[in-house]
Structure 1
């Protein structure tokens, strides 16, 4: 979902430039983009779904899934070759999809993780990351050029690739919100891969169902738009941008995972948040600490 939301301004820019846009996405990301851009053409390029372990041991998890990840990179790379030829694609913009470069199209890779932090195998992981970035014609870094920006050491390492550039934060929102009467105790934004997404949702539900003041939980599921109220907690699958802005303008605090797309959105809206990182995800743990200290 996060990567899809930060692609929204890029898609809008391409459409405003008069370009034909073809989108590849799946799951909740596909539902979100189709709700905003119903008239675009959508194609399927298969990729490996990322999951996070319940015990939070990311290093062990990805060590065992490493071969499958490499296989997935090459599978999506060769699938793209077919799509480029079939659809006459001139430009490919890949948001953290490692295998989507092509010698037949100008290929752009979007990442805020020019450096990937990891408690184990960081050197090997970053060699792979550099190898991937070097396959592309350009690398776009969605952060402020001045260090530390929003992503700190992730986006501002000692050196960045020569073909990389900072493009500023990417957000579907354009300006700060105007705060209104704070009728909600909190807006809770649920996101991330399973099973940690559902564990986070259950934890927040327990915390706010018995709250003395009303709260709103966004489940991050645009394909499940139903809503329900349990105690003082209203639970919805998804809100459109305007409804989300109205909710955020009338809440005392925001609680969310420290995903980078959420951080960029809240930075544009000028809203502080209580960030709760996904257990064992070094990137989110670092970003949560960085945002708390800024």
Structure 2
């Protein structure tokens, strides 16, 4: 009998789900039976990637972003009671899943209630320090109150100085719980001819995803460059539309996305950590527009700008002319390491 491992990524943008793809594949290759548990777009994406695997719907956190960056933190705080209620419901459902499906282990990517005292439970995060401005000390402390309930914590980064997450994923506290497993990416670098001058990759919760889509549509019409525009909207069927020099996709699967990344000269996107891991694996050049008010993305964009890796700007200040800065930045370097899945999975 294969051991059953529950994989539960957070549905907050698509990054948590996509970085679980290499883990699911590694579990299958190492003789485990992965079972997928999530909600919304994250669950739909993984169902498309792994149609033969059992999938289970978990309670939705239903977190929405503010339309204005200055209100981001306060809107999240206002939604906190709803989120904590969802975490409690999630915990109860996880207990039932563990019993009904005879689960042998859990891997949670940022789902705070996806753990069980009955089986080894792993929490995946790149945020050991949760940035929230002047309240960062408090959000970090509250976050780790949940993390310490798990058997282990895996950070998808390297421990050394040349890392991707900076102060987000590196702290001297809780060292006995943390294992750096190296960056996770579902994409492989391939020597393909460049087909697109710019690839736009959108994701993340509403309304900010749509707001950026509208902003970029307006600006990119001013250029005659060949552009691939992936909206990051998971729908029942794929939609493709060509308008002048811009080719629009509502979404792409992993194989299509890997090809598109490799065929694109530069990437225009949010400074989400999963996208950063993909860009590093591919050693690409990029331009970042962090989600307004999201401290994590703003920090990562500023970090990479200061390291002369990639330029960035605020959403409201973006102009297509700003893309001319990209050649003056060195781009990403691959910092990935060979993952020892046997050793990591020995926990189960």
The TM-score bracket by the shorter chain reads: over 0.9
Could you say which residue in structure 1 is the equivalent of 2:92?
78
CA contact (8 A) 2:200 2:229 kept: yes
Q: Which runs of 5 or more residues in structure 2 are unaligned?
A: 1-13, 308-348
Deviation at 1:101, TM superposition (A): 1.2
Give distance in 2, aligned partners of 1:170 and 1:240: 17
- Say yes or no: does 1:209 pair with 2:221: yes
Instruction: Give the counterpart of 2:249 among 236, 256, 259.
Output: 236
- For the residue of structure 2 that corresponds to 1:228, the secondary structure is strand
Deviations 1:138-190 (A, max 9, x none): 0000001113510000001232341111000011123x33252x442210001
Deviates more, 1:210-219 or 1:135-144: 210-219
Q: Which runs of 5 or more residues in structure 1 are unaligned?
A: none
Could you say which residue in structure 2 is the equivalent of 1:172?
186
CA contact (8 A) 1:77 1:99 kept: yes
Instruction: Give the counterpart of 2:37 among 24, 29, 32.
Output: 24
Could you say which residue in structure 1 is the equivalent of 2:176?
162
- For the residue of structure 1 that corresponds to 2:17, the secondary structure is helix
Give the TM-score of the pair, scaled to structure 1: 0.94
- Say yes or no: does 1:293 pair with 2:341: no
CA contact (8 A) 1:114 1:160 kept: no
CA contact (8 A) 2:265 2:285 kept: no
Deviation at 1:77, TM superposition (A): 0.8
- Say yes or no: does 1:115 pair with 2:129: yes
Deviates more, 1:118-127 or 1:85-94: 118-127
Deviates more, 1:118-127 or 1:40-49: 118-127
Give distance in 1, aligned partners of 2:187 and 2:288: 20
What do you get for the CA RMSD once the two structures are aligned?
1.5
Structural mapping, 1:38-187, within 5 Å: 38-56=51-69, 57-147=71-161, 149-174=163-188, 176-178=189-191, 180=193, 182-187=194-199
Instruction: Give the counterpart of 1:195 among 192, 198, 207.
Output: 207
Deviations 1:239-285 (A, max 9, x none): 23343333333333110001111011111111121011000000000
* Residue-pair matches, total: 292
- For the residue of structure 2 that corresponds to 1:185, the secondary structure is strand
Give distance in 1, aligned partners of 2:97 and 2:278: 32
- For the residue of structure 1 that corresponds to 2:303, the secondary structure is helix
Query: Residues 48, 240 of structure 1: CA spacing in aligned structure 2 closer, same or farther, 3 A cutoff?
Result: closer
Deviation at 1:122, TM superposition (A): 1.9
- Say yes or no: does 1:249 pair with 2:262: yes
CA contact (8 A) 1:177 1:270 kept: no
Give distance in 2, aligned partners of 1:129 and 1:277: 22
Deviates more, 1:158-167 or 1:97-106: 158-167
Give distance in 2, aligned partners of 1:293 and 1:151: 14
Give distance in 1, aligned partners of 2:163 and 2:141: 24
Give distance in 2, aligned partners of 1:66 and 1:148: 34
> Hey, which bits of structure 1, 4+ residues long, moved more than 6 A?
none
Could you say which residue in structure 1 is the equivalent of 2:326?
none
CA contact (8 A) 1:173 1:268 kept: yes
Give distance in 2, aligned partners of 1:68 and 1:147: 38
- For the residue of structure 2 that corresponds to 1:82, the secondary structure is helix
Could you say which residue in structure 1 is the equivalent of 2:230?
218
Deviates more, 1:24-33 or 1:164-173: 24-33
